[in-house]
Chains A and B, each alone.
Chain A
Amino acid sequence: MLRPSRFYEGCGRDGPIRCIFLCEFHPTAGPKIVCQVPEDYMSKDDFESVSVYIIPKAQLFKNVITITVFGFKILGFPTRIDDKVYARNAYCFNLCFVFDAWARSVHYENIVKKLTDFLMSLEITCRFISQLANNKSNGTQLVTMLNQVMNDLNTHKYCVLSGPKVITHLKVVQIRPDPPPISDCEVPVLLDSKESFHSDRWDLTTMQILPYINGVNHVKKISAMAGVNNNLVKSCLQNLVYYGVVCMIPIFLYSSMYAVTPKLRKLAVDKKLQEECILALTRTGKESAQIRDIFCMYSNMKSGVTMKDLCIRFNPLQLNIDERSLVEFGILEGFIRRIHEYPVNLETSMMNDVPYSQYLTGEYSTDSICCMNEISLKQLHDSIESYPNIVFICK
């Protein structure tokens, strides 16, 4: 049976740069490729059919243009230098990257732009590219440079390019969706050990809050402990989430509830995951926890069962299970999700007599109400308990 290819348009995968070519608008011959690596990747025929989009109309210069056709994806940034020294008083060129049609190319856009700028400075300072035809050594130098860019970016995602008097750094940066906004009551967890954290690569604020990220402190507490403005902490954390360095998890409370997701099945069948799990949540200095006990604890998590109930029932201390790590591991692996409680006032007309009434609309979870008002969950419960119209919705 033929297996469908993993590479199809829309598969969302990254692909290698297949070819880099430089083309110019020749005063007599029109658009033509002056240099390409590897040679003859783009046939003359193919190039001519797409040349309208590579050396486009004047309005489209200095725009990132990607054309997908015939199984190619060509990414370019057409550029024009106006100067009297050129025939027609302008020199138009475009440096293009070619990918397979299925590959994602958005993250190469800035590289193409930067490389174009690099070539432009070479052109302005020493007529590097407009004189390629007359200057053999420039030609070979350009081929070497383009080869270097293609190979380095494909293998290392990084390239330092030096030309006569100019040097440029190119780096492929993945574009990911924006992480969700950070809330005060969430807890950041480092996904790798602190030792693997390269302190020189991060900004000062991040370095300042880093010691307080321990998987226990929530955002507001970190902000107070580190003496850093709350919003700054949040944007630092958002940045760290973006780069996959930390993950935000809900705050651990014995009063909180969790629910199982279909991913829990992985724990039952994946031996490697089981080992990891046992390692992560066995209490220090104790014998290894047993997988069935762990699995039982997870599978009993549901709306209406608090961590406290679960601990009373299973006595994790005796089972050598650290319940805090149990929850952390479960959340990070996606076995369980937190169930939040949302207090709602059913009687909207008598809003004002009720404490914290502005929060009782169903949009605020108990976590966030407590965090915003700096009260404990018990205090919140006590103060709204006597109102029969206030109910809790869990999700």
Chain B
Amino acid sequence: MDINPVGILLVKSDSKGHRLLFRYPFVSKSEAETGKKYVRQTPYSLHITEDPLYQTNSMKNNGSELTEFSDDLLSTLFAVKSKFYGHKFELKVNNMRFVGHPANIQQYSGSNSKKKPDGPSSILIHFVFVLKASADYSVVKSYYELSKRLGIAIKHEEKRCGYFGKEMKMMMEAHDLDSTKLDEGNDNDQSSFDTILNRCSLARNMKFIYENLCSSGIVHFRLNNWIEVSFCLTQKAHSVHIPNFSIGPEEIDKCLQNLKPYHGILLLEDILTLLNSLPPDSSPSLTRFLKVYSPLKNFQMISADSDLTIAQVYNIIGHFLNWGYAMVIYPLCESNIYVIAPGAVISSDSSLKEKFNAKFPGYNLLELMHEFSLPSTMLHKLNPLTHSEEQAVLVQMVAWMLRHRLLMQLHTYVYFMPTKKGMMHFEEIPNISHSRYQSMNANFGQNGSDGDSYSLKAPSDSDLSSVVSEDFVKSPMTTFQTELNSWLNMSLVDEGDKIDEFVIEEDFISGLSEDEKGALLKIPATSSPEDFHLLIRLLKQGYLQGTSHLEEIMYLENIRRSQLVQLIEKFQDILVTCECEDPAVSIFYPNDN
């Protein structure tokens, strides 16, 4: 993966010309030039035999060095025309990619200037990140964002106290001194960049940025000890925990959209470390969130305990995910089924094993992994004689293994397949209510479901599961009314009024084919009204089409696991169950396909 930067450059251009002020990493003069070697981009690319007729002076950079680019050349390339100011600038030369945000700042001559103040002069400053050409687009975009932020910070500091002017002067002096020394012939080993690094705080900041991007992906410092610059390279932040694994911000956004209030998070960092690393001006909701956090709680519980709205909780989670501090899980509980994740590292002499030993002395990681080779619940691992202490350790070990993506949770999905033909054609399933997400959204405070907005939304939602049955198309009811009806029905069920419910059931059954009806009515449990009502209720909500796992059904319908499991057992001839991972959280697992 090509997430790490190859280098960072700073170029200025003003009325006195352009100059590469600083680059990091730089090569000291004494270091020899690296040998030129031709590297093919892929094993399938043609090896171009060079013809002396076509003389080449191409820079055969090997993708990790920037030595072939002279300072002068770099400064010409990135001292861009004014037309580019404030736009994304991206240049690719062979297998190097350069990305930056050229920013224009007004220079205010410092108060100690002896010259007459002649108004602010305009300077172009351009922080350029050098990446490998194969870097992913989202990585490039993140670096662009950082370049932009640096530009803004510099602009602010320049306006406040002429910071950039001073730094630039120091850098220029060092460069000039170097070139005069060169003219005089007494060349020393120390390059001007070394001098700059010693003297200028901006250069030290750039070094800091580069090193942090390479190590953790998180950059946090105060420019000129004043303005805070804070940036996270999401792709890198997650690879710190799992080597060679990256999640982009786009994927996280997608994941956030699929999260439900029954999900929970697992922090990847120690909670105290996190609390201490928060800047003093951070939002108090963050602290509140962290104080009530537990991997056993779902978002709704966290929201209730911390007195934050669920929308706020989602926002905080978004931050944690982007900064690589957390992953989404279904809250830990005894009935969760876990199995070894397909990407898990199994090795008898891995550092992971030692890390585990240090944390849980007396336990063997591989043995534990062996125990989870077959899908099993924590309940299986416990017996009535287990001490509560041991139980706590087991929970911690499972959390640890989840954090290191050694374990993965399996969920049970249910499909209603009454006949050999498989599932009823999903369009035929009379599904009068898909209000469940709507109502959830209303709870989040994201959008209210007033009649108008809903009927506008209805057509776009009417893909897969939510197609209104023919019965309802025939009736003059609008979608909104059916919506309302279903809610009414549901509340009626709660009140124990069975009449309307019965009508709906009749409706549903009349929608089935003869074979399907036969298969359904053959089941002895059909005669028990309670079981039958529950089955029809679940069918109507579209839960038995493999989209909702048991936990989701439990949450949305507010029923107990035992009830649901019993129901599935009773109707096992027409229901097919399968166990697999929840796709909503699968982005947190390395995928080798």
The distance in angstroms between the C-alpha atoms of A61 and B366, with both chains bound, is: 56
* B520 within 8 A of partner (CB): no
- Complex interface: stretch among A146-154, A155-163, A257-265: A257-265
Residues of A353-395 whose CB lies within 8 A of B: 360-363, 391-395
* A293 within 8 A of partner (CB): yes
Nearest to A104 among chain B residues (CB) is B137
* A29 within 8 A of partner (CB): no
A120: chain B residues within 8 A (beta carbon): 54
Residues of B59-105 whose CB lies within 8 A of A: 59, 68-70, 73, 76-77, 81, 83-84, 87-94
* A255 within 8 A of partner (CB): no
Give the most central of A178, A274, A296, A348: most B CB within 10 Å. Answer: A296
The distance in angstroms between the C-alpha atoms of A242 and B90, with both chains bound, is: 30
Pairwise interchain contact B137-A53, C-beta atoms closer than 8 A: no
A393 and B373 contact, Cβ closer than 8 Å, known pairs A10-B138, A291-B420, A292-B576 = yes
Indicate with 1 or 0, residue by residue over B557-593, a CB within 8 angstroms of chain A CB atoms.
0000000000000000000111111110010000011
Pairwise interchain contact B545-A60, C-beta atoms closer than 8 A: no
B576: chain A residues within 8 A (beta carbon): 292, 295-296, 299
A69 and B90 contact, Cβ closer than 8 Å, known pairs A268-B545, A292-B417, A344-B346 = yes
The distance in angstroms between the C-alpha atoms of A395 and B464, with both chains bound, is: 33
Question: Least Cβ distance of B340 to chain A in Å?
Answer: 4
Pairwise interchain contact A391-B89, C-beta atoms closer than 8 A: no
Residues of B450-477 whose CB lies within 8 A of A: 460, 464
Pairwise interchain contact A363-B346, C-beta atoms closer than 8 A: yes
* B535 within 8 A of partner (CB): no
B385: chain A residues within 8 A (beta carbon): none
Residues of A38-87 whose CB lies within 8 A of B: 49, 52-53, 56-70, 82
A346 and B346 contact, Cβ closer than 8 Å, known pairs A110-B46, A268-B546, A303-B339 = no
A363: chain B residues within 8 A (beta carbon): 346-347
Contact partner of A392 (CB less than 8 A), chosen from B69, B81, B133, B373, is: B373
Pairwise interchain contact B413-A265, C-beta atoms closer than 8 A: yes
Pairwise interchain contact B545-A395, C-beta atoms closer than 8 A: no
* A302 within 8 A of partner (CB): yes
* B423 within 8 A of partner (CB): yes
The distance in angstroms between the C-alpha atoms of A65 and B59, with both chains bound, is: 12
Nearest to B46 among chain A residues (CB) is A110
Pairwise interchain contact A64-B56, C-beta atoms closer than 8 A: no
Nearest to B43 among chain A residues (CB) is A178
A242: chain B residues within 8 A (beta carbon): 44
* A9 within 8 A of partner (CB): yes
* B319 within 8 A of partner (CB): no
A53: chain B residues within 8 A (beta carbon): 77, 91
Give the most central of A291, A299, A334, A346: most B CB within 10 Å. Answer: A299
Pairwise interchain contact B421-A265, C-beta atoms closer than 8 A: no
Indicate with 1 or 0, residue by residue over A228-257, a CB within 8 angstroms of chain B CB atoms.
000000000001001000000000000000
Question: Least Cβ distance of B542 to chain A in Å?
Answer: 12
Contact partner of B93 (CB less than 8 A), chosen from A64, A360, A394, is: A64
Nearest to B417 among chain A residues (CB) is A292
B581: chain A residues within 8 A (beta carbon): 261-262
The distance in angstroms between the C-alpha atoms of A264 and B422, with both chains bound, is: 13
* A124 within 8 A of partner (CB): yes
The distance in angstroms between the C-alpha atoms of A9 and B581, with both chains bound, is: 32
Contact partner of B70 (CB less than 8 A), chosen from A59, A269, A344, A395, is: A59
* A97 within 8 A of partner (CB): no
Pairwise interchain contact A69-B70, C-beta atoms closer than 8 A: no
Indicate with 1 or 0, residue by residue over A261-300, a CB within 8 angstroms of chain B CB atoms.
1101100110100100000000000000011110110111
B43: chain A residues within 8 A (beta carbon): 178
The distance in angstroms between the C-alpha atoms of A110 and B44, with both chains bound, is: 12
Pairwise interchain contact A295-B580, C-beta atoms closer than 8 A: no
Question: Least Cβ distance of B357 to chain A in Å?
Answer: 13
B347: chain A residues within 8 A (beta carbon): 361-363
A260 and B57 contact, Cβ closer than 8 Å, known pairs A292-B419, A342-B346 = no
Pairwise interchain contact B53-A124, C-beta atoms closer than 8 A: yes
Pairwise interchain contact B546-A66, C-beta atoms closer than 8 A: no
The distance in angstroms between the C-alpha atoms of A359 and B526, with both chains bound, is: 55
Pairwise interchain contact A63-B58, C-beta atoms closer than 8 A: yes
B421: chain A residues within 8 A (beta carbon): 290-292
Residues of B2-33 whose CB lies within 8 A of A: none
Contact partner of A260 (CB less than 8 A), chosen from B48, B370, B578, B592, is: B578
The distance in angstroms between the C-alpha atoms of A200 and B84, with both chains bound, is: 51
The distance in angstroms between the C-alpha atoms of A52 and B577, with both chains bound, is: 64
A344 and B348 contact, Cβ closer than 8 Å, known pairs A264-B580, A269-B545, A292-B417 = yes
Indicate with 1 or 0, residue by residue over B28-51, a CB within 8 angstroms of chain A CB atoms.
000000000000011111101000
B369: chain A residues within 8 A (beta carbon): 393
Question: Least Cβ distance of B238 to chain A in Å?
Answer: 19
* B547 within 8 A of partner (CB): yes
A69: chain B residues within 8 A (beta carbon): 84, 87-90
* A337 within 8 A of partner (CB): yes
Pairwise interchain contact B348-A345, C-beta atoms closer than 8 A: yes
Pairwise interchain contact A49-B83, C-beta atoms closer than 8 A: yes
The distance in angstroms between the C-alpha atoms of A346 and B363, with both chains bound, is: 12
Question: Least Cβ distance of B407 to chain A in Å?
Answer: 10
Question: Least Cβ distance of A298 to chain B in Å?
Answer: 7
* A12 within 8 A of partner (CB): yes
Question: Least Cβ distance of B125 to chain A in Å?
Answer: 18
Nearest to B87 among chain A residues (CB) is A69
The distance in angstroms between the C-alpha atoms of A1 and B92, with both chains bound, is: 37
The distance in angstroms between the C-alpha atoms of A58 and B348, with both chains bound, is: 55
* B367 within 8 A of partner (CB): yes
A395 and B344 contact, Cβ closer than 8 Å, known pairs A291-B422, A292-B419 = yes
B373: chain A residues within 8 A (beta carbon): 303-304, 392-395
A391 and B346 contact, Cβ closer than 8 Å, known pairs A299-B576, A302-B375, A303-B375 = no
Contact partner of B426 (CB less than 8 A), chosen from A59, A67, A269, is: A269
* B115 within 8 A of partner (CB): no
A262 and B426 contact, Cβ closer than 8 Å, known pairs A299-B576, A334-B593 = no
Question: Least Cβ distance of B343 to chain A in Å?
Answer: 8
* A2 within 8 A of partner (CB): no
B70: chain A residues within 8 A (beta carbon): 59
A274 and B422 contact, Cβ closer than 8 Å, known pairs A65-B91, A348-B348 = yes
A395 and B580 contact, Cβ closer than 8 Å, known pairs A10-B141, A67-B90, A269-B545 = no
The distance in angstroms between the C-alpha atoms of A127 and B578, with both chains bound, is: 72
* B518 within 8 A of partner (CB): no
Residues of B310-361 whose CB lies within 8 A of A: 339-342, 344, 346-349
Pairwise interchain contact A265-B370, C-beta atoms closer than 8 A: no
A293 and B420 contact, Cβ closer than 8 Å, known pairs A65-B92, A345-B348, A394-B374 = yes
Residues of A189-221 whose CB lies within 8 A of B: none
Pairwise interchain contact B92-A298, C-beta atoms closer than 8 A: no
Pairwise interchain contact A393-B578, C-beta atoms closer than 8 A: no
A392: chain B residues within 8 A (beta carbon): 370, 373
A64 and B341 contact, Cβ closer than 8 Å, known pairs A259-B580, A348-B348 = no
Pairwise interchain contact A393-B370, C-beta atoms closer than 8 A: yes
Pairwise interchain contact A271-B84, C-beta atoms closer than 8 A: no
A1 and B422 contact, Cβ closer than 8 Å, known pairs A260-B579, A362-B346, A395-B342 = no
The distance in angstroms between the C-alpha atoms of A300 and B426, with both chains bound, is: 22
* A350 within 8 A of partner (CB): no
4 nearest interchain CB pairs? A10-B137, A299-B578, A362-B346, A290-B420
Given A260-B578, A392-B370, 19 new contacts (CB under 8 A): A57-B73, A59-B70, A63-B59, A69-B88, A70-B87, A260-B580, A269-B546, A293-B420, A295-B415, A298-B578, A304-B374, A304-B375, A346-B364, A362-B348, A363-B346, A393-B340, A393-B373, A394-B373, A395-B373
What are 8 A-B contacts defined by CB distance under 8 Å? Answer: A58-B57, A60-B93, A63-B58, A175-B41, A260-B578, A299-B415, A303-B373, A363-B347
